Chains A and B, each alone.
Chain A
Amino acid sequence: MAQDQLQRFFQEKKQKARPADIDWGGKRDAWIAAVDGLYQTIEGDYLKAAKADVEITRRDKIVTENCLGEYHIPALVLRVGDEEAVFSPKGLNVVGAQGRIDVHGDRADATIVWQGENRWSIVISRTPTLRLVPLDADSLGEMLRGIMRP
């Protein structure tokens, strides 16, 4: 491969790795706002009836991602008795979704993906087929029962 061809090849790869026409700052802000919106829905709607029994707090989390660098985003902590379930945003640069939150419990972990706007889904399985369940009060309760101690 001639020198100029090699140079073009590298330039194309660099361009592909970080397309200039993407507003990374805007994507990051939209992601943070979406996460905040989800937390408000969980707190104000999905857990409304159970509010007296659960302590809800937010913790600051620092996430580092390609093209975005380091940014702050809140994790949501549900404390019930001596146990916590933590909603921990993983990032927005994920395959097949606009972002992902990992939910850690004492018994297991779960994954929630953001599919844009107010659409969030729980990943039930990836193989042999993808099973996503829209996040709502029922599916949230089911998920928490699965990841917290019985």
Chain B
Amino acid sequence: MTRPSLSEILSGEQQSLQEVWDWHEFQRALIGEEKSRVLDAPPGGVGLALSRYVGKTREEVERDFAYQVAELAQVAMLGMLASTEAALRVDFIERVWNKNKDPVSRRFLVVNRGRWWNRFPDIRLEEDILDTWRDHGPNPATRHVLSEFKGALKLRHWLAHGRYWKPDLGRASYDIVDVF
């Protein structure tokens, strides 16, 4: 079997952390502008553009928008954690594909031994990738970052699986800046 090229393996559609953040900022601004539009609208008169808010009090409108902001943050946090995972997995694939000689790449080759190119999703993010960086990475200072990221993965797991259980997260709570 011929080894596929990287362009055949990777979609190139993964978002960067910055792209997810920019998307969040854009959406957050739209929510803010819409909230201003509604709260600054003259009283009375049912305009078509305000129809979804008709009859709502200021407190109800504020509660509705707070919900939108909170939900946007949850989706953005999931997107950020997913984009970070994608970056780590793409890095893994490129190192294995290129057969690099640094300690991390050598370890990745061992982890990946015997796996064909379409089985990359089987690689475990925490045990195979993050622990390799922790044990073989060039900079010991990254251990703390890896530990924090592992904690945040509990949040990702919770968000991605529908938030139906009481989460035991890596810290008391996360907001979008923590995750970024």
Contacts of B58 in A (CB 8 A): 66, 93
Residues A103-127 near B (CB distance < 8 A): 111, 113, 115-116, 123, 126-127
Contact A94–B52 (Cβ < 8 Å): no
Give the number of residues in A that approach B within 8 Å (Cβ atoms): 22
Residues A66-114 near B (CB distance < 8 A): 66, 90-91, 93-98, 100, 111, 113
Contact A96–B53 (Cβ < 8 Å): yes
CA distance A65 to B57 in the complex (A): 9
Nearest opposing residue in chain B for A116, CB measure = B44
Min CB–CB distance A14 → chain B (angstroms): 14
Contacts of A98 in B (CB 8 A): 43-44
Whether a CB of chain B sits under 8 angstroms from the CB of A130 is: yes
Contact A97–B57 (Cβ < 8 Å): no
Contacts of A132 in B (CB 8 A): 46, 54
Contact A97–B51 (Cβ < 8 Å): no
Contact B52–A97 (Cβ < 8 Å): no
Say what secondary structure dominates the interface of chain A: loop
Contact B53–A126 (Cβ < 8 Å): yes
Whether a CB of chain A sits under 8 angstroms from the CB of B141 is: no
User: B54-93 toward A: CB 8 Å interface, digit per residue (1/0)?
Assistant: 1111100100000000000000000000000000000000
Contact A95–B41 (Cβ < 8 Å): yes
Q: In which size bucket is the chain B interface?
A: 10 to 19
Instruction: Tell me whether A111 and B43 are in contact in the complex, defined as CB-CB below 8 angstroms, given that A95-B38, A95-B50, A95-B61 are known contacts.
Output: no
CA distance A89 to B56 in the complex (A): 12
Whether a CB of chain A sits under 8 angstroms from the CB of B12 is: no
Whether a CB of chain B sits under 8 angstroms from the CB of A129 is: yes
Contact B51–A96 (Cβ < 8 Å): yes
CA distance A145 to B146 in the complex (A): 60
Contacts of A126 in B (CB 8 A): 51-54
CA distance A37 to B71 in the complex (A): 42
Nearest opposing residue in chain B for A111, CB measure = B55
Nearest opposing residue in chain B for A131, CB measure = B51
Binding site for B on A (CB under 8 A): 16, 65-66, 90-91, 93-98, 100, 111, 113, 115-116, 123, 126-127, 129-130, 132
Give me 18 A-to-B residue pairs in the complex whose CB atoms sit less than 8 angstroms apart, sorted by A's number. Answer: A66-B58, A91-B57, A95-B38, A95-B53, A95-B54, A95-B55, A95-B56, A95-B61, A96-B45, A96-B46, A96-B51, A96-B53, A96-B55, A98-B43, A115-B46, A126-B52, A130-B48, A132-B46
Binding site for A on B (CB under 8 A): 38, 40-41, 43-48, 50-58, 61
Question: Top 8 closest A-B pairs, CB basis?
Answer: A130-B51, A96-B54, A95-B53, A96-B46, A100-B55, A113-B55, A126-B52, A96-B50
